Amino acid sequence: MINILEGLIIIGGAEDKKGEKKILQEVCAHIDKESQLLVIVTVATQLPVEVGNEYSNLFYNMGIKNISVLDVRKRADALKSENVDLIEKASLVFFTGGDQLRITSILGGTPLYKTMKRRHSEDCVFVGTSAGASVMSDIMIVTGPDDESAKKCTLKMAPGLGLITGVLIDMHFAQRGRIGRLLVGVAENPEVLGIGIDEDTSIIINRENVLRVLGSGAVYIIDGSNISDTNVSEQHQDNILSIYNVTMHVLKSEDKFDLKARKPFI
- Residues involved in catalysis: 130, 148, 172
Buried/exposed code over 24-44 (b: 16+ C-beta within 10 A; e: otherwise): bebbbeebeeeebbbbbbbbb
- Report helix, strand or coil for 255: coil
Alpha helix (H) residue ranges in the chain: 22-28, 48-61, 81-89, 100-107, 111-122, 131-134, 179-188
Q: Which residues pair with 167 in a beta bridge?
A: 193
Whether 11 contacts 129, CB under 8 Å:
yes
In this structure, what DSSP letter does residue 241 have? P
